[in-house]
Amino acid sequence: MYIQYKEIELENIVFYFSGTGNCLKVAKIIAKELDNTEIVSMGKPENRILTKQYNSIGFVYPVYFWGLPNAVKNFVEKINLTDNGSAYFYGIATFGGWAGNGIPQLNELLIYKHNIKLNYGKTLKMFANYVVVYNMSDKVNEITKKSNKNIIHILNDIKNKKSNDIKKSKKLFYKIYNKNITKFKDMDKDYIVNDNCTGCEICAMVCPVKNIEIKNKRPNFKHTCEQCVACIQYCPQKAINYKNVTQSRRRYTNPEINYKELSEYNNK
């Protein structure tokens, strides 16, 4: 009598961090293509504990000042990857104009903290969303079409577990990164909520790090801001502004990710 051993099929996991939906959209596309894939937010510290062995582990995040968002840096530093050293590791850094150390920083952090090298890392140009710094483009459809095309190549590579060489990070980029990223948590002190606010709570729902509490039907910011701009962008009343800077600027949210979906994934 033969005992047949079935090869155990390991699951996949893709971690994401997203303010305006670009990275969630990419994570969703990957999960659909790979099957059997969990989509997990890096905004929640409790998600750093892995209880299974995975076939592939991905990180999808936006580039902030040529590097990683604080939440992503903290998440990757503290995640428990014991038992998962032999998974296929990949990173996708979405960016709007210049990705800088977006991928090298993740690779070097994984090596430094976990002795794990990224197998594959790619930057993906998407819509540039940093409304606090510039008036965003009105060419949403054009830019989205281009990025959709580029996602296909990345998807194929990941599906086939391709490897690529990850460049070393550049010190000069870190100078600019460190100078800016350390200011983020308190920048919400300069968020002004105007009288158009209806108390709908959407801003609190989309905040990936629960930095917003609704009190007396108004958002209150708790100074652990990631500058992801989700609250500014998803507010249906344009009621949240940075100083007197963003009032007349357009708003952007990924056309395929509405506030309900973003909030559902963030709070899973």
Ligand X SMILES: Cc1cc2nc3c(=O)[nH]c(=O)nc-3n(C[C@H](O)[C@H](O)[C@H](O)COP(=O)(O)O)c2cc1C
Binding marks (x or -) toward ligand X, 152..191, rule CB under 6 A? ----------------------------------------
Helix (H) or strand (E) holding 8: none
Location of structure tokens 């936006």: 62
Alpha-helical segments (H) within 102-247? 102-114, 140-159, 171-181, 202-206, 230-234
For 192, the 3-state DSSP assignment is strand
Choose one: 33-41, 76-84, 120-128, 259-267; the region binding ligand X (CB under 6 A): 120-128
Least gap, CB of 179 to ligand SF4 (angstroms): 19
Q: How far apart are CA 10 and CA 1, in angstroms?
A: 28
Which tokens in the block code for residue 25? 């959209």
99 binds, among ligand X, ligand SF4, none (CB under 5 to 8 A by kind): ligand X
Alpha-helical segments (H) within the chain? 22-34, 70-78, 102-114, 140-159, 171-181, 202-206, 230-234, 259-266
Is 79 one of the binding residues for ligand SF4 (CB under 6 A)? no
Q: In terms of Cα–Cα distance, which of 197, 208, 194 is closest to 259?
A: 208
Binding marks (x or -) toward ligand SF4, 13..32, rule CB under 6 A? ------x-------------
Least gap, CB of 108 to ligand SF4 (angstroms): 25
Nearer to ligand X, 52 or 222 (CB): 222
Task: Please report the sign of the dihedral spanned by the C-alpha atoms of residue 83, residue 169, residue 74, residue 19.
Answer: negative
Choose one: 44-52, 57-65, 113-121, 148-156; the region binding ligand X (CB under 6 A): 57-65
Q: How far apart are CA 152 and CA 250, in angstroms?
A: 29
Is 181 one of the binding residues for ligand SF4 (CB under 6 A)? no
Is 226 one of the binding residues for ligand SF4 (CB under 6 A)? yes
Is 235 one of the binding residues for ligand SF4 (CB under 6 A)? yes
Choose one: 99-107, 111-119, 164-172, 205-213; the region binding ligand SF4 (CB under 6 A): 205-213
Is 199 one of the binding residues for ligand SF4 (CB under 6 A)? yes
Choose one: 7-15, 91-99, 156-164, 197-205; the region binding ligand SF4 (CB under 6 A): 197-205
For 147, the 3-state DSSP assignment is helix
Q: How many CB atoms lie within 10 A of CB 217?
A: 10
**Options 158, 229, 239, 240; binder of ligand X; rule CB under 6 A:** 229
Least gap, CB of 233 to ligand X (angstroms): 8
Contact (CB, 8 A) for 88 and 55? yes
Q: Of all residues in the chain, what percent are helix, strand and coil, respectively (each to 5)?
A: 35, 20, 45
**Options 164, 198, 220, 247; binder of ligand SF4; rule CB under 6 A:** 198
**Options 110, 203, 257, 262; binder of ligand SF4; rule CB under 6 A:** 203
Q: What residue ranges bind ligand SF4 (CB under 6 A)? A: 19, 188, 193, 197-203, 206-207, 209, 211-212, 219, 221, 225-231, 235, 237, 239-240
